[in-house]
Chains A and B, each alone.
Chain A
């Protein structure tokens, strides 16, 4: 049996895989099959340096043997091999401890939302040559915008068009198509002897929803030359303003602490805190998989539970963690439609926008730091501490004074959420986890 690229044959293949698992001794099974056409191109200066185009398929399954769970993933679609792999997964499941919560969602919990506008013809139909021209145009524009741009790490344009089907042994089957398109550029400039690099990119489900080519080029250039002559700041405790992208990375870390998978094993500083006022009243954080045409939306999650809108923090009060079916049962809650297939993942997860522009927030900051970029990552969801290498601008008397770099910012998540005293109006849904700019009243900035 071969697998062609249409939803009907994909559904048949997934159904067959589920039946095969039941024959091999599974009491329940679920198969998710995704097929994606991907294109990407890179240009550097006047040359097309990369051109990639492929169709990729992957099958992910969960099999349950009387409350014992195993998963498998494969890109080998040979049916005899699939039968053997499924038998292997069922055999491995017998070594797993029996767990009363390790089951598929109840049939009544499965379902799908409709008309989320995830598939856009303009993306699927766009000619390869147009995408190549666009990457070359980004390279041309960054050099035209500023003569100090002498090089680049490349401009990238790409898209994907995918079909996802999910079938389980409780009778659920669902399918949806989705598109994604992105463009980005990473200029390199000479600041005296030193090289500086910046990057900016944008993504959406469809072409009209994406930031324009010139806007991407301008922001990439600004991020590159804006830090010319940056100094190392003094060590101090001051207000810190997080620019949109770094604000989103803070939310991404916060999500890990809200994930029921971490809460269940004590690996979260938010354990036992539901109902508590933790954030400033400006802090309202939403997870919503139902917003039309957004990158974090889908008709159902990784186990066929319809997505929903969940208020996670409301005016600073923690209302709920985010659950898949397993951890919801384990912790006595209901799934919030956040299964990522193997764990708990975000839909559109965002801090609700405020009313002030970033400029107004800066003007309202006597002395502080605007952070444009951080490096490093934390795994300390248990203690809730936050520490990153950063670069950005020093703010004095409500104005950007000069660029700064080679410093760290540090605090704890509880202090940061409580300290958010200004939220920007610049929220943009160009990813699944997004945020407007915000200001934290006080953090430790470590430099000289």
Chain B
């Protein structure tokens, strides 16, 4: 998109007034999407996100400007605005040279274009037919497919010039079933940093049938109970629990600033010894994987918690530098219009020793949260909430009635001490999670084995 020499000039301009570090982030993202509604292809979309963001770092401060105008005048103006954060002229003129560096990819970077439109349309029509055929009470099927190719080029004042190409495809199916005034909702999505060939094996029918089954289950569900009880979290999609209850609290901006409850606690016990949590940017084809992050650092495998002991935070360049540990490849951003933040990639818990059967059998009265629809956390205290997408009662060691609209509320550090069993069935969830932080959305992955929590607050409407 830009010549190496242009980027060198911009980096030099950015550091004209001084500053510790500067980077230039160039992005060109092509996206295409098709949406099916009520049995027909309802609309289609096409998008180009293109521009350049220039950042200057001075200590804990950052100046930033972006431009979608790629003329040298506009880009130089952006570099001079970013430089305003450096208030003195003491740094003086500095000439920056950058050299191309190789990136080892964790996904297929050879694709340069989208598939033919008809191929996306076929996926949606197959999903629609499969969902409708599942049950006569299914009244509405909506499906969406989106596919994008994001090219990023990153130049840094410490001399690096890197390129990454990131594919990202997603197929989501939403099913509503109806019985009188009752409505049941089911949604399943899957995809990843891959191509449309992904759906040769993970067929649109398999995604649609899963969504249809959840919709019918929720149609038959009773209101969730309210109050304190045991909870068994299902493998895969249960990983939202880790993402919310622990993950966000271990992002380094909150910890460097001392606003997270995990600040200054590396090496301390923060969870039951059964708990180990990783964040990994290097899992092939996963949604949260990045060969390099948006600051040009490899998206590594990070040990966050090991046998209950806090091992480290997820670092971007600014916070990692200030904390003296460097980046862990966790600097991510939504687009060239915003500065990077420390973010999660794919966050998961590896296998424990218990079998799923014994975990369920040991639960007297509780809720089985098979998957979550999403969640949210408040960083300073770790209070979190998440919504159960598919849930059941557990009564006397058996999974019984489906429940709807359960909200789980708890506190991250508290719930991590209440993990009393970890299953041997760890897996990553369907690939459709997107994480929001400070108004920026990035694709992530989550995963977990079946886990039992000894007590948690379920916010249903049915007071026992």
Contact = CB atoms under 8 A, between A and B. Distances in A.
Interface stretch (B154-162, B301-309, B379-387): B379-387
A409 B410 CA distance: 14
Contacts of A91: 117
User: Which 10 pairs from chain A and chain B are nearest by CB?
Assistant: A408-B459, A389-B385, A97-B40, A376-B385, A197-B380, A382-B183, A195-B380, A387-B407, A446-B226, A74-B48
A54 B185 contact: no
B401 interface: no
Chain B interface, >50% SS class:
strand
B337 A54 contact: yes
B383 A237 contact: no
Interface stretch (B6-14, B77-85, B99-107): B77-85
Interface in B55-101: 59-69, 71, 78, 81, 84-85
Given A49-B61, A52-B63, A97-B42, A75 B49 contact: yes
A50 B60 CA distance: 9
A174 to B, nearest CB: 23
Interface in B312-358: 337, 339
Contacts of A97: 40-42
B178 A153 contact: no
Contact of B387 (A77, A195, A267, A378): A378
Chain B contact-residue range equals 35 or more
B311 interface: no
A73 B45 CA distance: 8
Interface of B: 28, 32, 34, 37-38, 40-51, 59-69, 71, 78, 81, 84-85, 117-118, 121, 139-140, 142, 176, 178, 182-185, 187, 226-228, 257-261, 337, 339, 373-381, 383-387, 404-407, 409-411, 457-463
Contacts of A75: 48-51, 68
A96 B42 CA distance: 6
B226 A56 contact: no
Interface residues of A, number: 77
A220 B192 CA distance: 40
A49 B259 CA distance: 15
Contacts of B118: 95
Given A71-B45, A188-B259, 11 more contacts: A74-B48, A74-B49, A76-B50, A92-B46, A196-B381, A197-B381, A237-B463, A375-B377, A376-B386, A377-B387, A408-B459
A44 B258 CA distance: 12
A54 B405 contact: no
Contacts of B386: 376
B47 A72 contact: yes
A219 to B, nearest CB: 18
Interface of A: 2-3, 44, 47-58, 69-77, 81, 85, 88-89, 91-97, 99, 151-153, 188, 194-197, 232, 235-237, 265-267, 269, 375-380, 382-383, 385, 387-389, 391, 405-412, 444, 446-448
A448 B185 CA distance: 29
Contact of B459 (A92, A232, A446): A446
B459 A389 contact: yes
5 contacts: A44-B257, A92-B45, A376-B374, A446-B227, A446-B457
Contacts of B66: 54, 56
